[in-house]
């Protein structure tokens, strides 16, 4: 079997050059989707009969929470690949995923609080979904803190990867929390199998926003990884050539 | 499908929920911009720093002689020498 693609995937230079070509397209698609979704969700989707207009927060709350979870998979898988195959690139991806995921988790919690106040009458409840999301935030922050806690980069990378892998236990708990424990948080709006509990007129902008957030996330992870590639590979000839080519 | 609000004020007010909806969107926008811009700034700093490094290394490698100052102005020359001597004096004292 030809494994060449797999080894090339681990090469920071290959990643940098490929993503240079992809990024403008991803950025424009994501931006278009986000603008269409936000305008549709804020102005054109019908008002919710029970929650009024406060439900419009769903168009950022759900996509942010989606990507906070998906981003954790990215971080944990990148960490595992780094541990197993010692790939340079995968640790860089893992380190990039932590701050992006932390911000997305924070956004999910914040928009949730802002949605909870008019809907439940409270900013915060210690229910299973919200508490497990808070733990997710601490896991992300823990990975960020661990990165700076070791003198040797290689040791720090391994420690972060192990923390990220241990933390994956939290992910199914977050997914299932609204079904396992009765709480204020409403059950999942969109379902892969079976009937969604949301009207199509409200669901379309939500799907567009989720797609937009996925695009934005992939752009962000590339952007962050590329910037750390330049610093990690600063002594190599190809990075020096890029530096020489850039103006000023 | 049509626009759900009659006036701009209605749109901003959102039946009393505007104070929750708009800050959610504003904070999200700000946070995402921060995420998008911070690697850009980091890269720019890196390139400026690397360029400085390259310039220093080139200078060492080529041992470029200091460019000859065509100093026609005697006064400037003398002042320059005077400042150098003053510098040495200061070094000597401290």
Contacts of A117 in chain B (CB under 8 A): 20
Question: pLDDT tens-digit profile of B4-33?
Answer: 888 888 888 888 888 899 999 999 999 999
Evaluate whether residue B57 is within a structural domain.
yes
Q: Which of B20, B42, B46 lies at the smallest CB-CB distance from A118?
A: B20
Q: Which of B1, B25, B40 lies at the smallest CB-CB distance from A44?
A: B1
Mean pLDDT of A98-105: 96
Q: Which of B17, B32, B47 lies at the smallest CB-CB distance from A53?
A: B17
Return mean pLDDT, chain B.
80
pLDDT over 80 at B82, yes or no: no
- Residue A133's contacts (CB-CB under 8 Å, 6 or more residues apart) are A65, A68, A105, A108, A109, A112, A174
Evaluate whether residue B12 is within a structural domain.
yes
Contacts of A103 in chain B (CB under 8 A): 31-32, 34-35
Tokens of A170: 């939290």
Residues in chain A whose beta carbon is closer than 8 A to a beta carbon of chain B? 38, 42-47, 52-54, 56-57, 60-61, 64, 99-100, 103, 106-107, 110-111, 114-115, 117-118, 201, 216, 219-220, 223-224, 226-227, 230-231, 234, 239-240, 243-244, 246, 248
Q: For Cα atoms A59, A179, A110, give the angle at the middle one, nearest 5 degrees.
A: 35
Question: pLDDT tens-digit profile of A21-51?
Answer: 999 999 999 999 999 999 999 988 888 878 8
Is B11 at the interface with chain A, CB within 8 A?
A: yes
Say how far apart CA A64 and CA B71 lie, in whole Å. 65
Closest residue in A to B2 (Cα) is: A44
Q: Which of A58-72, A91-105, A181-195 has the lowest mean pLDDT?
A: A181-195
Q: Which of B1, B20, B27 lies at the smallest CB-CB distance from A54?
A: B20
Evaluate whether residue B90 is within a structural domain.
no
Structural domain including B64 reads: 8-68
Q: Do B17 and A246 touch (CB under 8 A)?
A: no
Q: What percent of chain A has pLDDT over 70?
A: 92
Mutate to test the interface with B, among A243, A244, A247, A248 (most CBs of B within 10 A): A243
Number of independent structural domains in chain B: 1
Mean pLDDT of A1-11: 67
Q: Do B28 and A64 touch (CB under 8 A)?
A: yes
pLDDT over 80 at A190, yes or no: no
Q: Report CA-CA distances (Å) from A89 to A16, A125, A158.
A: 10, 40, 14
pLDDT over 60 at B67, yes or no: no
pLDDT at A142: 93
pLDDT confidence tier of residue B58, bands split at 50, 70 and 90: confident
Question: pLDDT tens-digit profile of A166-188?
Answer: 999 999 888 888 777 776 777 77
pLDDT at B93: 67
pLDDT at A30: 96
pLDDT at A192: 58
Return mean pLDDT, chain A.
88
* Number of Cβ pairs < 8 A linking chain A and chain B: 100
Predicted model pTM: 0.83
pLDDT over 80 at A197, yes or no: no
Mutate to test the interface with A, among B3, B11, B20 (most CBs of A within 10 A): B20
pLDDT at B65: 58
Say how far apart CA A16 and CA A211 lie, in whole Å. 24
pLDDT over 70 at A66, yes or no: yes
Q: What percent of chain A has pLDDT over 90?
A: 55
Long-range contacts of B33-37 (CB under 8 A, 24+ apart): B34/A103, B35/A99, B35/A100, B35/A103, B35/A220, B36/A219, B36/A220, B36/A223
Q: Which of A100, A114, A239 lies at the smallest CB-CB distance from B24?
A: A114
| Choice between B84 and A84, residue whose per-residue pLDDT is larger | A84
Evaluate whether residue B49 is within a structural domain.
yes
Evaluate whether residue B24 is within a structural domain.
yes
- Identify the DSSP state of A49: T
pLDDT over 60 at A145, yes or no: yes
pLDDT confidence tier of residue B85, bands split at 50, 70 and 90: confident
pLDDT at A161: 94
Classified as helix, coil or strand, A48 is strand
């Amino acid at each position: 079997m030809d494994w060449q693609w797999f080894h090339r995937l681990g090469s920071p230079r290959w990643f940098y050059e490929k993503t240079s070509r992809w990024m403008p397209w991803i950025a424009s698609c994501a931006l278009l989707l986000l603008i269409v979704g936000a305008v549709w969700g804020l102005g054109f989707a019908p008002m919710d009969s029970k929650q009024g207009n406060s439900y419009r927060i769903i168009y950022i709350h759900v996509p942010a929470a989606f990507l906070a979870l998906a981003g954790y998979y990215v971080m944990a898988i990148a960490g595992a690949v780094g541990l197993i195959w010692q790939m340079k690139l995968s640790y860089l991806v893992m380190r990039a995923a932590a701050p992006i995921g932390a911000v997305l988790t924070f956004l999910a919690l914040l928009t949730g609080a802002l949605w909870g106040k008019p809907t439940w009458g409270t900013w915060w409840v210690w229910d299973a979904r919200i508490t497990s999301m808070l733990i997710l935030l601490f896991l992300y922050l823990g990975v960020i803190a661990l990165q700076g806690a070791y003198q040797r980069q290689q040791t720090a990378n391994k420690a972060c990867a192990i923390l990220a892998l241990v933390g994956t236990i939290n992910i199914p708990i977050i997914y299932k929390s609204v079904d396992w424990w009765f709480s204020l948080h409403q059950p999942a709006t969109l379902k892969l199998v079976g009937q969604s509990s949301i009207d199509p007129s409200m669901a379309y902008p939500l799907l567009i926003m989720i797609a937009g957030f996925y695009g934005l996330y992939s752009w962000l992870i590339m952007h962050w990884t590329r910037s750390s590639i330049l610093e990690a590979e600063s002594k190599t000839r190809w990075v020096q050539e890029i530096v020489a080519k850039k103006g000023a | 499908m049509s626009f759900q609000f009659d006036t701009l004020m209605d749109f901003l007010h959102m039946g009393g929920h505007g104070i929750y909806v708009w800050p959610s969107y504003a904070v999200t926008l700000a946070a995402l911009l921060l995420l998008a811009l911070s690697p850009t700034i980091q890269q720019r700093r890196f390139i400026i720093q690397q360029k400085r490094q390259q310039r220093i290394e080139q200078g060492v490698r080529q041992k470029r002689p200091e460019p000859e100052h065509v100093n026609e102005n005697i006064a400037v020359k003398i002042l320059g020498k005077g400042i150098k001597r003053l510098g040495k004096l200061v070094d000597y004292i401290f």
